[in-house]
Amino acid sequence: MINTLTIRTVINVYDHANELPADEQELLVKAKAACASAYAPYSGFHVGAAILLDDGTIVTGSNQENLAYPSGLCAERTAIYYTGANYAGRIIKKIAVAAYKPAAAQFMPANPCGACRQAMVEYENKQEQQIKIILAGENDKIYVADSIEALLPLQFKAKHLGIVNSPQ
């Protein structure tokens, strides 16, 4: 017998960032600015992330590469782990991600890798509140999902390891 699992993901697409609420526009500007601090001599792909906390604090991060792949770290994980280490107990409300390719002198689509999706959804589960994600896309389009789970619907959870009393 075959069963079917239907997964529905809703992602809102905006033609321009100016269609977003002011706080999300600011977060996207901060994510784009964070691209400038990326260390990406190997890929030439500069990624920035900006996180909005429940008290209005904005935390940024950028990708940090290393010649010994995979020793580097993506912008999303840099930002979210810094937040977890330095703002323990704060609720992450939103995260914006942008990518810039200096060789092309333009912003590129910024879709988090699988490891980043898993790291972000860990914090969403830990805080038991959704984290809205705002992704810069090509041709000024912006992609917005109300939850990281929209990007990782079949996520790995602590219950899969048989861990009891976990935040998930």
SS3 content of the chain, % helix, strand, coil (to 5): 35, 25, 45
Q: Single out the catalytic residue among 24, 65, 76, 124.
A: 76
| Residue closest to 47 by CA, chosen among 25, 65, 62 | 62
CA distance 136 to 31: 9
Give the list of residues 6+ apart from residue 88 with CB closer than 8 angstroms, or none.
none
Which backbone phi and psi does 94 adopt, to 5 degrees? -145, 155
Q: Are 110 and 96 in contact, with CB atoms under 8 Å apart?
A: no
Q: Is 128 a catalytic residue?
A: no
Give the list of residues 6+ apart from residue 1 with CB closer than 8 angstroms, or none.
none
Report the catalytic residues.
76
